[in-house]
Amino acid sequence: MNVLKVREDFPILKNGLNGKPIIYFDNACMTLRPRQVIEKMNEYYYNYPACAGRSHHKLSKMATEEFSKSRSIIRKFINAKSDKEIIFTKNTTEGINLVAKSFKFHKGDVIISTDKEHNSNLIPWQLVARQQGLRRERISTKEGFDLQHFEHVLKHAKSNSNRSFVSMVQTSNMDGTSIPLKEIVNIARKYDAVVMLDAAQGVPHKSVDVKKLDVDFLAFSGHKMLGPSGTGVLYGREELLNRLDPFITGGSTVDDTTYDGATFTQLPERYEAGLQDYAGFIGLGAAVEYLKKYIDDIHVHELKLNKIITEGLNTHVNILGPQDPKLRSGIFSFNAKNKMDHHEVALLLDSYANIMIRSGRHCVHSWFNDNKIDGSARASFYLYNTEEEAKIFVEKTKEILKMK
Amino acid sequence: MICIIALIVFGILGIFSVKYRIIAKEAFNCVFKKITLRKCDTGLDIRLKSQISGSFLKFSPRLGRIAYKYFEVFSWIFLILTLVTLYFMGLGLYNYAVYGNCNGPQGGFCIYDPLGTTKPVNTTTEGSICAIPGHSIGAVLTAPKNITITDGAYIGNPQAGVVIIEYGCYSCHYTKLAEPTVKRLIKKYGDNILYIYKDFPLRGTHETAEPATEAAHCALDQGRYWEYREYLFANQQRQFDEDLKGYAKDLGLNDTQFSECLNSGKYKSLVEQTYSEGIALGITVTPTFFINNQSLVGAKDYSEFKKIINKELGISWWEFWK
């Protein structure tokens, strides 16, 4: 992967901010967009700004073709069996909510998650569990994922004739650690559990094959993988998707209605109510097309950057998660050893050096509360970040930390 | 501390722009929480501290470090400066409302009135007068009673509720300086006032004071008093007989008649009489004004006249601004 060539495709990296170069290390929140994605979205608005799949005129036909093409591109990208298994959503959050609200649970069923879930994979389950009388179990990742406890929970549920639903974060947006997915799925299958992955930090950084992973549901966001904001995808096994209750209903979700009832349509439209963000999803297709050229190199590249930064700053900061950068993918979450506030670190990097990182609790408030930590500063990398940028980050962070 | 400064600064800027209103709201929230002994959780204080010290860091690491480390100290200093500035701003506005000048009675450049449109006379009582040698202000003045209009040096409505009498000297620099104020009052109040000019030539101070006063009466004889008066004030350095006659000629007056009037000393006794009346009232300096029973000595600001006249006319405070 030629990073310098990649950077040429990103207008903001080429032009900078007010003519000054930026270092964008907030990719776990949102990535930048290449020219190709922006142009593809403009193409929709310029050339065929019409409803897809509804009207029969030429413009509508063009929009339908591009919209469907985009779904196929995404399906191929994660190696799903059929386009019917690709549901367009607003983001990962909506995908998880769709499953949480529509899955047919029975009282006593068990929801299993980790202790590092993003609010998007925590709150929906808290509500559903309360409303439907489900039990929730949390697997600790403090000393690595506790597979033993995980199996024990599944076994216990099965022995009580309760079904288990595993919904876990593939890679934590907080510290970059990943769960041992293969083992988790193997154990889950042993006890007939359903497995859903919050892959918001997974799909954008590594090649994901849903058939190989053998997961039942997988949700991810477009804006974390070079795509437009407000776009996301829920993958679901066709047979499971067919068994879900309708989620948001309305236009496009039905074949027919009477004053007293409705006949719901086929997948995937059944779960895509109302007029869709056609430009956005067509843009997401373009983002995936772009990304697939580099997807096999991104993870290695991010590890390289993480190594430079870890080695440069490990004596100055406390790193959240394991010390070994190989275990933290493209995320470097930290707090200054001299107790400089994490917000201050982030704001100073921004005002002093045009380095953009995030600070706070990264929507994982539950973990921070449990560990009595206020928050952290977080640098997260992507394919267009360079080793030079990583070195500058180290140097500037050291300078800032010296201020206290 | 920075939140209080932010509240003041962005509160003012917020009047003009929505984007600052949002910051002002945050600052208010922060200040309110601190007052109620809670932690400011808007993050505004940290944001401002980081942005400011980060900007300094760009120039020099040392400067950045100082700004960061002593941020609270600097915040206190700036807060005090802001409060002091606000105090003086308020004082300036008060002075502007009361005296027509933000510096108060002492005058000087005023930012609220850079062109000096409400401040035609930029002087105070002290040093804004011409006096009889050996005298200064301090004499007890008695307002003239039973005012009768004996000559034409008046303007306005003889039945008006407010009578302004000016004891002036055509050769006195400060009488001249008060002239724009007089004109402005006449223009503003019209028939609501009666303005009368009384002779008080300071003969011991200005050698041409008496002939100039008599010449004004001679111009009045020909119905051209106000124009001639303007000429006199405009040419205070040259008021000898020949000059006085020349001005009459310039104005197109009958110069023979004017010369005869001046040469004959036709108005000598009248001028003397008016002067004596002034002395009897306690006047020793020019210009001295009486607005009904109240006296104003010296070339004072327009606003001071306005304040007294409005009060005498019973004009309410909101009309005061007009």
**By C-alpha distance, which of B63, B47, B35 is closest to B2?**
B47
Beta carbons within 8 Å of A38's beta carbon, 6+ residues apart? A11, A283
Is residue A275 domain-shared with residue A393, that is, in the same domain? Answer: no
Q: In what order do the strands lie in the sheet with A110-114?
A: A86-89, A232-236, A217-221, A194-198, A164-169, A110-114, A135-139
Which residues are registered as beta bridge partners of A139? A114
Spatial separation of the C-alpha atoms in residues A396 and A354, rounded to whole Å: 10
- With H, G, I as helix, E, B as strand and everything else as coil, classify residue B248: helix
Does residue A93 sit within a domain?
yes
Tell me which chain A residues have a C-beta less than 8 angstroms from the C-beta of B43: 343
Do A203 and A309 lie in a common domain?
Answer: no
Residue A37 in domain = no
Residue at A17: amino acid letter: L
The full DSSP string for A65-113 is HHHHHHHHHHHHHTT-S-GGGEEEESSHHHHHHHHHHHS---TT-EEEE
Domain boundary among A264, A291, A318: A291
Residue B306 is predicted with a pLDDT of 87
Q: Is residue A204 part of a domain?
A: yes
Residues A272 and A309 in one domain: no
Question: How much is the pLDDT for A350?
Answer: 95
Residue A339 pLDDT > 50: yes
Structure tokens belonging to residue B16: 């003009």
Q: How far apart are CA B171 and CA B237, in angstroms?
A: 8
> Could you report the per-residue pLDDT of A108-144, keeping only the tens digit for each?
999 999 999 999 999 999 999 999 999 999 999 999 9
Measured between beta carbons, which residues in chain B are less than 8 angstroms from residue A400? Answer: 57
For residues B49 and A209, the model is more confident at A209
Put simply, the answer to whether A348 touches B50 (Cβ < 8 Å) is: yes
Of the partner residues B43, B55, B58, the one whose CB lies closest to the CB of residue A343: B43
Task: List CB contacts (< 8 A) between A399 and chain B.
Answer: 57, 61
| Of residues A394, A290, A375, the one with CA closest to residue A35 | A290
Give the whole-angstrom CA distance, residue A229 versus residue A185: 30
DSSP string, B263-293: HHTTTHHHHHHHHHHHHHHT--EESEEEETT
- What per-residue confidence (pLDDT) applies to B150? 66
Tell me phi and psi for residue B127, to 5 degrees.
Answer: 80, 5
pLDDT of residue B105: 62
Residues A111 and A216 in one domain: yes
Per-residue pLDDT of B306-318, as tens digits, reads 888 988 888 765 5
Residues A254 and A203 in one domain: yes
Identify the CATH number of the domain in which residue A357 sits. 3.90.1150.10
Peptide bond into B287 cis (omega under 30): yes
What is the spatial distance between Cα A148 and Cα A373, in angstroms, rounded to a whole number?
A: 27
What's the pLDDT score for residue B289? 93
CATH number at residue A176: 3.40.640.10
* pLDDT for the residue numbered B127: 59
User: How far is the C-alpha of B292 from the C-alpha of A48, rounded, in Å?
Assistant: 85
**Which of B57, B62, B65, B71 to mutate: most A Cβ within 10 Å?**
B57
Q: Which pLDDT value is given to residue B120?
A: 40
Give the per-residue pLDDT at B112: 67
Distance from CA of B47 to the nearest CA of A (A): 7
Distance CA B163, CA B289 (A): 10
A43 domain residue, yes or no: no
In angstroms, the separation between the Cα of residue B71 and the nearest Cα of chain A is 11
Q: Is there a contact between A343 and B46 if contact means CB atoms under 8 Å apart? A: yes
Secondary element (H or E) of residue B212:
helix B209-221
Q: How far away is chain A from the Cα of B12, in angstroms, using its nearest Cα?
A: 25
Q: What is the CA radius of gyration of chain B?
A: 29
> Across all residues in chain A, what is the average pLDDT?
97
Domain ranges of chain B: 2-69, 124-321
Shared domain check, A266 and A300: no
Q: How far is B60 from chain A (nearest CA, A)?
A: 11
Q: Is residue A125 part of a domain?
A: yes
Write the CA distances from A78 to A213, A219, B15, integer angstroms: 10, 11, 53
A-B contacts (CB, under 8 Å): 42
- Confidence at residue B86, expressed as pLDDT on a 0 to 100 scale: 87
- Classify residue B165 by its DSSP letter: E
CB contact under 8 A, A351 and B51: yes
Structural domain for A365, as ranges: 3-26+295-401
> Is the Cβ of B44 closer than 8 Å to some Cβ of chain A?
no
Q: Which of A236, A256, A291 is the last residue of a domain?
A: A291
**Whole-angstrom distance, CA of residue B178 vs CA of residue B124:** 11
Interface subset of B 50-89, CB within 8 angstroms of A: 50-51, 53-55, 57-58, 61, 64-65, 68-69
Whether B46 sits inside 8 A of A352 (CB atoms) is no
The answer to whether the CB atoms of A347 and B51 lie below 8 A apart is yes
Question: Which pLDDT tens digit goes with each residue over A81-97?
Answer: 999 999 999 999 999 99
Interchain pair A341, B46: CB under 8 A: yes
Pairing type for strands A376-380 and B130-131 reads unpaired
- The segments of chain B whose pLDDT lies below 50 read 119-125, 322
CA neighbor of B177 nearest in space, from B125, B136, B217, B140? B125
- With a pLDDT cut of 90, the percent of chain A lying above it is 99
> In this structure, are A322 and A365 located in the same domain?
yes
| Nearest chain A CA: its distance from B75 CA (Å) | 17
Which two three-digit tokens encode residue A261? 């009832």
Quick check: is A35 in a domain? Answer: no
Which residue is listed with tokens 């004082």? B91
Distance of alpha carbon A396 from its chain centroid, rounded?
A: 29
Task: Kindly state whether residue A348 falls inside one of the protein's structural domains.
Answer: yes
- DSSP-derived secondary structure for A233-275: EEEE-HHHHTTSPP-S-STTSEEEE-SS-EEE--TTGGG--SS
Q: In this structure, are strands A317-319 and A164-169 parallel, antiparallel, or unpaired?
A: unpaired
Please state which architecture CATH assigns to domain B124-321.
Answer: 3-Layer(aba) Sandwich (3.40)
Whether residue A91 is found in the same domain as residue A170:
yes
Residues from chain A that touch B46, judged by Cβ atoms under 8 A, are 341, 343-344, 347
Helices B225-234 and B209-221: angle between axes, nearest 10 degrees: 150
Q: Residues A74, A18: one domain?
A: no
Q: Mark yes or no for CB contact A404/B69 under 8 Å.
A: yes
| A235 and A367 assigned to the same domain | no
State how far the Cα of A209 lies from the Cα of A205, in Å rounded to an integer. Answer: 13
Total domain count for chain A?
A: 2
Give the closest residue to A346 by CA, choosing from A115, A126, A24, A47.
Answer: A24
Higher pLDDT, A222 or B150: A222
> What residue ranges in chain B does DSSP mark as E strands?
130-131, 154-156, 162-168, 193-199, 285-286, 288-291, 294-297
- pLDDT of A43 reads 98
Please tell me the distance from the alpha carbon of residue B10 to that of residue B22, in angstroms, as a whole number: 9
From residue A289, how far is each of A44, A51, A284, A292 by CA, in Å?
17, 23, 9, 6
For residue A282, how many C-alpha atoms fall within 13 Å in the half-sphere facing its CB? 24
Catalytic residues of A: 363
Is A39 inside a domain boundary? no
Q: In a 3-state reduction of DSSP, which class is residue A182?
A: helix
Give the mean model confidence (pLDDT) for residues A341-366.
96
Residue with tokens 């004072």: B300
Residues 362-401 (A) with a CB less than 8 A from some CB of B: 399-400
**Residue A90 sits in the same domain as residue A236:** yes
DSSP A13-50: HHH-BTTB--EE-BTTT-----HHHHHHHHHHHHH--S
- Check whether residue A285 and residue A313 sit in a common domain: no
Helix and strand numbers, DSSP H then E, in chain A: 15, 15
Between A38-52, A162-176, A284-298, B115-129, the lowest mean confidence (pLDDT) is in B115-129
